[in-house]
């Protein structure tokens, strides 16, 4: 699982599924570094969220590894509903935002997707992909909360605990999965 590389809204705005947010110059460099690292031992397949910043990260990997990117909605960002595009500063003090960040197992963004629903679709996709590529390696370019949700499911953690670990831009988290179950091999690996 790979979190997309950096973009201009990072750390300031809840970008969500907003289109038209490209990688920043720093992010493009991160994507190239990821691609070079993965090209040393290319995955068997490459998948991406449909969101532009994830697709651009995947495109760099595809070019370096000689792969075609399979875009899948299962890896899409959480639908943040009315919060999409809002600055984090404007969300501070909002009681619903506070609940979202402490009770992900119960809360949902106004007009958006619950974290439980996002986790269910992502975990189902993980197992479906493992069945399609038994013994293979699939690189999945997605988003911070999706990676956290999958890792939490595999580790048996409550969704209320997913902010207890970081998933930074252009970082790799490795999960082995199969008909036997799944296990986390690493979280938030740097490329350097």
Q: What is the pLDDT of residues 90-111, one digit of tens each?
A: 999 999 999 999 999 999 999 9
pLDDT attached to residue 191: 78
pLDDT attached to residue 11: 86
- Euclidean distance between the first and the last CA atom of the chain, given in angstroms as a whole number: 17
Alpha-carbon distance of 4 to 189, in angstroms, equals: 13
pTM: 0.96
User: In the chain, how many domains are there?
Assistant: 1
pLDDT attached to residue 31: 97
- Pairing relation of β-strands 45-48 and 69-71? parallel
- Pairing relation of β-strands 172-178 and 181-189? antiparallel
Cβ count within 10 A of residue 68: 9
Regions in the chain scoring below 50 on pLDDT: none
Instruction: Show the domain range for 145.
Output: 2-189
For residue 95, give the CATH number of its domain.
3.40.50.1240
């Amino acid at each position: 699982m790979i979190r997309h590389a950096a973009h201009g809204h990072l750390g300031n705005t809840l970008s969500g599924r907003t289109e038209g947010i490209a990688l920043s110059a720093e992010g493009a460099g991160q994507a190239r570094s990821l691609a070079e690292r993965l090209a040393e031992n290319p995955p068997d397949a490459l998948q991406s969220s449909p969101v532009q910043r994830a697709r651009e990260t995947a495109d760099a990997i595809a070019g370096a590894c000689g792969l075609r990117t399979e875009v899948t909605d299962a890896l899409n960002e959480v639908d943040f509903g009315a919060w999409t595009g809002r600055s984090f500063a404007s969300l501070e003090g909002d009681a619903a935002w506070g609940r979202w960040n402490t009770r992900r197992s119960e809360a949902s963004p106004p007009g958006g997707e619950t974290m439980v629903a996002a986790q269910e679709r992502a975990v189902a996709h993980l197992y479906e992909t493992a069945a399609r590529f038994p013994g293979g390696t699939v690189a999945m370019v997605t988003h911070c909360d999706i990676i956290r949700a999958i890792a939490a499911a595999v580790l048996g953690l409550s969704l209320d605990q997913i902010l207890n670990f970081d998933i930074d831009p252009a970082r790799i988290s490795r999960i082995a999965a199969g008909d036997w179950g799944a296990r986390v091999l690493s979280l938030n690996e740097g490329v350097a």
